[in-house]
Amino acid sequence: MHLRRTRLLMAALVAGAGLAVPAIQPAAAASDARTAAGSPAATPEFSPDRVLVRFSAGFFGRPAAAAVEASGGRLGDELFGWRVVEAPGRAADVARRLRGAPGVETVERDHIARAALEPNDTFYPTHQKPYLDQVRMPAAWDATRGSGVVVAVLDSGVDRTHPDLTGTRLLAGRDFINGDNDPEDDNGHGTLVTGVAAASIDNGRGIAGIAGEATMLPVKVLDEKGEGPVSAIAKGIEWAADQRARVINLSLGLAGQSGPAPEPPVLRAAVDYALSKDAVVVAAAGNDGSPWTAYPAAHPGVLAVTAIDVQNRLAYFSDWSVATDVAAPGVNILGTARAADVKPPNAPYGWGTGTSFAAPIVAGVATLIRARSPNLTDREVGDRIRSSATDAGPSGFDPYFGHGILDAAAALGVAGSRAALIYTRDTNDSMPGASALAGSTEGTIHPEGDVDWYYVDVTAPGTLSLTVNPPPTQEPVLAFDPVLQIFDAQGVGVTTPVNLKKKGEPETASALVAAGRYYLKVRNYHGSQSPG
């Protein structure tokens, strides 16, 4: 049994190697004086010009103004029982003098608030901001950037020479494919995933990693083909847990799975071991557009991540099932590329599409939570991510988005949650609510997993033929692929599900029938494809 990155895990890395490098110019050197040391919210900042004062009961008017003037300030507006004291350039001194003055009950410095962090990494504004705004990363970065937390990336290794991954944040790691201490990446997938999770943030170059100040632990468990035996994966999980990795990312899944499959016992034991060590384990759901989640993502206790596009639609390739926990961006995600995969003048960064790249976004947020709230257990971290997610698709939990779309800010507790993105189902999504079909009609399959029912009354024996014509689309990969089935009035199928044509082509179901009422069930072949 092998684990491998399922198809579409890598959309792009290197031209000439079956992959592709984006036309990105070399990153400039850091251009401003900001540093990335420590969390941005570690030290409060105060206004140099204003102080807030609460006076004792009955102390107001001229006596209050005189006390403030004696401190070097000037009495200003009233706000909910507090008075603003104007003290241009002298706020600290005025606050010190007012503390303990007669008639003064409380003195507070006036805090400074700023817009959510916008990193100065070169490609953040143009390449990352759209999908990271989807999960409200800038507000989350105002709380922490993950300093002090170890996140292990079990993959094909890492390129240690990458300028966004070098330094003391990158630990030595291990190679369980070749049995040594050099987890060099000979595939590219691991370097890309590592960068998504934890590339250096706010360093004036390249990209911003989700946990850009966390410590990275590379664990090589996949070979140059992006494949690896379960035994190596299991050993890598055990070793990462023993190294006290607080978060483990697994952007991989069981190979050759064409339906629900049992979890290999050794993999189950390894994941259970990591969970017993209080590691948060995050895994990619898989990329076959199928109604089952690949192991290890399907393991109870693992955060299983499906992928969405920039329009908050479940990505057409994403696997899904009741094991889904949360959805995150997974289409055209920018990561760090191996030096060997880059041709001048391109910078060492590449695009990835797949649940492989949604998972490290969630793993990065889990790392931020552990940095901000180190006493939370792995289960509590997972609960934070699930409970704070933005509900999407069918109301409440569903197999496509799980508990919803990742909301990093809400998970960190630094901002309120977003409005839900719940779809309203049509009324004919069950046999009792079937719509009458006379001649022709139009319908919509929406949201994810929707099914439409129609009925037709046949007055004499003969052949009943029903055809669905998919709408045209500018995105062939998202084309509607109808599956049809005809039922009698008792709900017994008179045809098996029919899906003979290619995506976007008309589909017809036919049956010899007697007089009576018949029902047509219409669905999309891939329930995770976008609505049609």
Quote the pLDDT of residue 22: 35
Average pLDDT, integer, range 265-288: 96
Does residue 506 contact residue 524 with C-beta atoms inside 8 Å? no
In the chain, the amino acid numbered 56 is: S
Residue 340, pLDDT above cutoff 80: yes
Residue 8, pLDDT above cutoff 70: no
Which secondary structure element, helix H or strand E, spans residue 341, and what is its range? none
Which secondary structure element, helix H or strand E, spans residue 126, and what is its range? none
Q: Exactly one of 162, 189, 299, 446 is catalytic; which is it?
A: 189
299 is catalytic: no
Instruction: Supply angle C-alpha 276, 286, 480, rounded to 5.
Output: 150
39 is catalytic: no
For helices 91-98 and 61-71, angle between their N-to-C axes, nearest 10 degrees: 120
Q: 340: which DSSP letter? A: G
Q: Exactly one of 127, 142, 147, 155 is catalytic; which is it?
A: 155
Write out the two tokens for 231: 């035994």
Per the prediction, the chain carries an average pLDDT of 86
114-141 per-position pLDDT tens digit = 555 689 999 999 999 999 999 999 999 9
Quote the pLDDT of residue 473: 81
227-241 per-position pLDDT tens digit = 999 999 999 999 999
Judged by phi (left if over 0) then psi (alpha if -120 to 50, else beta), residue 391 lies in: beta
Q: Report whether the peptide linkage leading into residue 447 is cis, meaning its omega lies within 30 degrees of zero.
A: yes
Q: Which residue has the higher pLDDT, 31 or 347?
A: 347
Give the separation between CA 93 and CA 73, rounded to whole angstroms.
10
- At 65 the three-state DSSP class reads helix
Residue 32, pLDDT above cutoff 70: no
The dihedral through the CA atoms of 41, 45, 51, 55 has a sign that is positive
Using pLDDT thresholds of 50, 70 and 90, give the confidence band for residue 312.
very high
Phi–psi pair at 358, nearest 5 degrees: -75, -40
Q: Exactly one of 356, 388, 528, 530 is catalytic; which is it?
A: 356
Which residue(s) pair with 517 in the sheet? Answer: 457
Quote the pLDDT of residue 277: 98
Quote the pLDDT of residue 328: 98
Quote the pLDDT of residue 371: 97
Quote the pLDDT of residue 265: 93
142-164 per-position pLDDT tens digit = 999 999 999 999 999 999 999 99
Give the separation between CA 511 and CA 469, rounded to whole angstroms.
19
356 is catalytic: yes
Strands (E), 156-197: 174-175
Q: How far is CA 34 from the centre of its chain?
A: 28
Quote the pLDDT of residue 10: 29
- At 30 the three-state DSSP class reads coil
Quote the pLDDT of residue 527: 66
DSSP one-letter string for 190-215 = HHHHHHHHH---SSSSS---TTTTSE
CA–CA distance from 78 to each of 56, 68, 91 (Å)? 14, 14, 17
